[in-house]
Amino acid sequence: MPARTIAVAVALMCLLTSGTAAAMSAEDLFKDGNRLFRDDLYWAALLRYGQATEAGMDTPLLHYNTGVAHYKAGQHIRARESLQKATRSPSLRQLAHYNLGLNAYALGDNDEALGWFRYARDQGTSEELSGLARTAIARIRRGERAEDPVYQQRVAEQKERDIFDFSYFASVGYGNDTNVFRSPSEPYIDFANPNLPLIVPVAQTGSYLPYDMGAKYTINTYRFEGFYAAYRASGDYYQDRNQSDADEFRHELRVGNEYVRKEEGRKREVFSSFRFAQRDGVYYDPDDGLPRAVGGVDIGDRMNYTRYGPDIRFRQRRGKLALGLVAKGYLYDYEDVEVVPSYDHEYFLFSLHTQYSFTKTSLLRVTAEKFSRRYSDRPSFEPDGTQPIGNQGVRYDYIGLSLLARQRITRSMWVGFEYERVDREDRYAGYGNYVRDHYEFEFHWSPGARFDLELSGYYRNYNYENAFAFNNPLLPTKTLETARADATLSYRITPRFSVALEGRFDDFVSNDTRIQYERGRYSLGFVWRQD
């Protein structure tokens, strides 16, 4: 029996077992065609795509997937016709041109192939595709076989903008924490206590289970705009019950809308949402890990809070230049503890950034921001470090400026550097004023199709103007330096399942030795994701 007859027979069998076409909508037929394509049943996929067309579907993505399926099935003339229809879409044009080049090369027409590859090279939408096109051009000129990087299958997995979209992720791991309660790194005299006691903290090591999960449901009411609801929960669970006070749980609900519109050389994005979040954990003493108490009254719930408020983000890109802004306002409602002031406060932020891409592999971003924290119950500090109950509430205003530079070294490797300066003003008496310098490095490398390596780290130096160590005027001005290093190595076992090895190290150095500590956290996690 000829190979083509076998292929058609298999395709018909697949169609019969997948349901009656007459009872399926155009979108269902299209999705089923994509499923068959992923199973390498290209003839069956073509039949489904044809039925979707007969049912009234006429989209660039349908033409694109039809053209790729024709190409895979060896029907190069029909592949050319469908792929040319797909070039009407700005988002698919470069991909279609690239695959038209592959198709022409398969037909033996090198001149036509070179023309299509040049179109794909010069589009500029995707640097990866431009690079593949340049490689194909060079190979044809050298008389070598043009590469087919199986780009078709990846794109065939894209879907039409469904009316309803649902995505989720979940991760769970097992890790080790070298300093569960962030205990000071050395014994110290507590100069905040008039009795000047000698404190000998003991760092505790423990095992924990980090978890992070979330889901998002979107209703795409309009062509470029959709409304969504999203939920995320994360936290840490320590296995030793003597360390259960270090357990932490956080979750957040977001409802809002998304507007994303891409045109030739331009892209506009607007995201707005209302967020409701909660945090639950124990306010413990780092010296011994026990819940804090004042006058015999347990205040372990003091740092639990509910947060809610709006968040708006806008970004406009045209050519090499991009402009964006962020505005948000939150109310933090902390647990009320009668014996000490509450941390309830308002938080406002406004940020503006501009970004310029000097080349297709490098960019520079400048960000200016102003934000504020305004406490209603927490009294302000006097210049001598005291905090009388009758003082007006603390208000800190911040002004920040940052520079971010990123450079792509290869298609799978890039590095980034950032410098940020933040100036904090204590609006009452200036006691809490500081200037913070922040230096950050980030590195990303994908050594293979399944591997990803991410390294990052920062160093922060706080220059306090008036605050004293231990808030004691007999001591020098407070100093604080912090550093963090992160490393993540992940391996994708399947498109939806991956495993990740993560590590984090924190180092806090201060002459207020109550807050000085070192901490390392290392974990192995498993991630499930459905986009």
- Mapping DSSP onto H, E and C, the string for 261-326 reads EEECCEEEEEEEEEEEEEEEECCECCCCCCECEECCEECCCCCCEEEEEEEEEEEEEECCEEEEEE
Kindly report the pTM of this predicted structure: 0.71
Single out the residue of 460, 443, 380 nearest to residue 407, CA to CA.
443
Higher pLDDT, 464 or 262: 464
Task: Name the residue ranges covered by the structural domains of the chain.
Answer: 3-156, 164-530
Pull the structure tokens for residue 215.
Answer: 């889901």
User: So what's the pLDDT on residue 496?
Assistant: 82
The proportion of the chain whose per-residue pLDDT surpasses 70, expressed as a percent, equals 91
Q: Where are the beta strands (DSSP E) in 335-476?
A: 345-359, 362-379, 393-410, 413-426, 434-445, 451-468
Phi, psi at 390, each rounded to 5° = -80, -10
Q: Is the confidence at residue 468, as pLDDT, over 90? A: yes
Residue 56 pLDDT grade (very low, low, confident, very high; cuts 50, 70, 90): confident
φ/ψ (deg, to 5) at 58: -150, 75
Q: What is the mean pLDDT of residues 186-211?
A: 94
The DSSP bridge partners found for residue 370 are: 350, 399
Per-residue pLDDT of 418-443, as tens digits, reads: 999 999 999 999 999 999 999 999 99
Q: Residue 199 has what DSSP assignment? A: E
Confidence of residue 21 (pLDDT cuts 50, 70, 90): low
pLDDT(127) > 80? no
Tell me the pLDDT band of 205, cut-offs 50, 70 and 90.
very high
Give every CB contact of residue 179 below 8 A, 6+ residues apart in sequence.
203, 204, 205, 517, 518, 519, 520
Sequence-ordered list of residues with C-beta below 8 angstroms from that of 392, at least 6 positions apart, any chain: 379, 380, 428
User: Does domain 164-530 sit in CATH 2.40.160?
Assistant: yes
Residue 147 pLDDT > 70: no
Over residues 316-362, the pLDDT tens digits come to 998 889 999 999 999 999 999 888 999 999 999 999 999 999 988 89
Instruction: Enumerate helices (H) and strands (E) in the chain, giving the number of each.
Output: 9, 20
* Residue 184, burial from CB neighbour count under 10 angstroms (0-12, 13-18, 19+): buried
- DSSP, collapsed to helix, strand or coil, labels residue 118 as helix
Is residue 212 scored above 50 in pLDDT? yes
The CATH number fitting domain 3-156, selected from 2.120.10.70, 3.10.310.40, 1.25.40.10, 3.10.270.10: 1.25.40.10
pLDDT in the model for residue 157? 38
Distances 57 to 28, 93, 165 between C-alpha atoms, Å: 11, 19, 19
**The pLDDT of residue 152:** 42
φ and ψ at residue 70, rounded to 5 degrees = -60, -40
